[in-house]
Amino acid sequence: MDRLKQLIFPQKCKCCFKLAQADNLCRRCRAELAKEKRESLTVETKFEFVDKAYASYRYKSARRKGIQNAKFRRPASFLNSFLTDISRDIEKILGENNFDTVISSPAHKSKFYKTEYDLPEQMAKRISEKFSLNNRRPVVKIKKTKTQHSLKLEERKANLIDAFEVRLDIKDKSILLIDDVISTGQTVSVIAKELKLAGAKTVVVWAYAYNDGKEK
């Protein structure tokens, strides 16, 4: 029965979306991840208005393919294995910080016409359920913006002017902000600024991956 199910619904690699073997990975992606070096969980780069930033992986090789497929092709295999990949990291972060709520980097409503879902939101939802954390959506993206990764630094800053609005009371709250990838940190910095202006006590960022620009 299992063999028949595999023939009808073949398991896909959580990274490249090709046919997988064991653990939701194909042979090539498994080899790439085996070479992966786990670096410091803390991101040393300082982002404005962000009290501390963490990232579980570097945005390269199989990890990069996995996020891209999760964002644009919606493979269930990525999200199904997501908590297994990052649970120890979240436990460490929770051991170092006390949070009142977990939120995700919000997407503009127009995005849902294309993908029907929001990856950071799905990540935040699973993390809050796994670790019994309050999950709220106090920040709304009110302006449709260009894709950040295609812009230069100054263009990224201009692109996000008046893009977000806080609509819930978060005064004196300590917040864990979830995103899929951070690079220059412009998006999380702008969100953190709005949260701080609305009275948030601290804003700590965690991303699945950090793109330092050194890897393609």
Pairing mode, strands 101-104 and 174-182: parallel
Structural domains of the chain ordered from first start: 39-210 (3.40.50)
| Amino acid letter, residue 116 | E
Question: What are the tens digits of pLDDT across the range 38-85?
Answer: 778 999 888 999 999 999 999 988 999 888 888 777 667 788 888 888
> What residues contact 201, with CB distance under 8 A and at least 6 apart?
172, 173, 174
Question: What are the tens digits of pLDDT across the range 171-186?
Answer: 999 999 999 999 889 9
Residue 198 is predicted with a pLDDT of 97
**Contact status, residue 53 vs residue 185, Cβ threshold 8 Å:** yes
List the 202-210 sheet strands across, edge first: 52-58, 202-210, 174-182, 101-104
Residue 184 is predicted with a pLDDT of 87
Question: What are the tens digits of pLDDT across the range 94-112?
Answer: 999 999 999 999 887 655 5
Region for 200 from its dihedrals, namely left if φ exceeds 0, alpha if ψ lies in -120 to 50, beta otherwise: beta
> Of 164, 156, 171, 185, whose CA–CA distance to 53 is shortest?
185
Please name every residue paired with 179 in a beta bridge, in sequence order, or none if there are none.
207
First-last CA distance in the chain: 42
What 8-state DSSP symbol labels residue 115?
S
Residue 159 is predicted with a pLDDT of 79
